[in-house]
């Protein structure tokens, strides 16, 4: 097995550095969600992936820690959803497998769409203390994305473990990106 076959490559496309203002403070849910939606929009417009964007922020300060865009097709890896990439890069940046370490401030994950079953599971394991989502599961399913087994109990489970959940933030703006992807004929890669 070659070195390349023993490694997993994960990262955001180069254009992210042109779109993201790393020095900005994101004080409101709408500011945070607009970043996730813009990441999703640029991912579609630039042809680098599916219609999903995500970011991890420090909750109290609004400091941006990481971003992610759907990279499944681009990097040929079914696990590289926007949320997964944002979580991986946040953990890499803070140097920990969990964002729940006592010396770290609480973190939140902002996603342009309700997370699929895999990403919702990662919310629990990542250590984020809040999930903010835009479009909902039905919106993604309307494009024939299979979001997996998610039930009201899934959200109740997270909530019972201390993860605050806010859904439907700027939903119409987030749904517009899904529709853009559909109009452009983007692949439905998990059907």
The four Cα atoms 95, 111, 42, 88 give a dihedral, to 10 degrees, of: 20
C-alpha to C-alpha distances, 71 to 52, 74, 155, 168, 189, nearest whole angstrom:
9, 5, 25, 23, 11
Q: What is the dihedral of CA 72, 144, 111, 162, to 10 degrees?
A: -110
Is 83 annotated in the active site?
yes
- What is the spatial order of strands in the sheet that 64-69 belongs to? 64-69, 53-58, 107-113, 130-135, 164-166
Q: Tell me which residue of 119, 124, 65 sits closest to 89, measured CA to CA.
A: 65
Catalytic residue (choose from 38, 58, 83, 108): 83
Q: List, by residue number, the catalytic residues.
A: 83
């Amino acid at each position: 097995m070659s070195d390349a076959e023993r490694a997993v490559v994960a990262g955001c496309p180069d254009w992210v550095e042109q779109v993201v203002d790393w020095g900005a403070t994101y004080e409101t849910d709408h500011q945070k969600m607009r970043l996730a939606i813009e990441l999703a929009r640029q991912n579609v417009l630039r042809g680098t992936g599916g219609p999903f964007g995500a970011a991890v922020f420090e909750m109290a300060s609004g400091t941006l820690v990481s971003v992610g865009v759907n990279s499944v097709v681009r990097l040929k890896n079914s696990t590289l959803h926007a949320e997964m990439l944002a979580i991986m890069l946040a953990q890499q940046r803070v140097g920990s497998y969990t964002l729940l370490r006592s010396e770290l401030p609480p973190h939140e994950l902002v996603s342009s769409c309700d997370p699929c079953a895999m990403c919702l599971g990662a919310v629990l394991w990542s250590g984020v203390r809040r999930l903010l989502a835009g479009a909902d599961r039905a919106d993604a399913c309307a494009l024939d994305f299979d979001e997996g087994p998610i039930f009201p109990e899934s959200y109740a489970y997270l909530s019972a473990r201390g993860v605050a959940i806010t859904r439907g933030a700027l939903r119409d703006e987030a749904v517009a990106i899904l529709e853009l992807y559909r109009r452009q004929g983007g692949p439905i890669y998990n059907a």
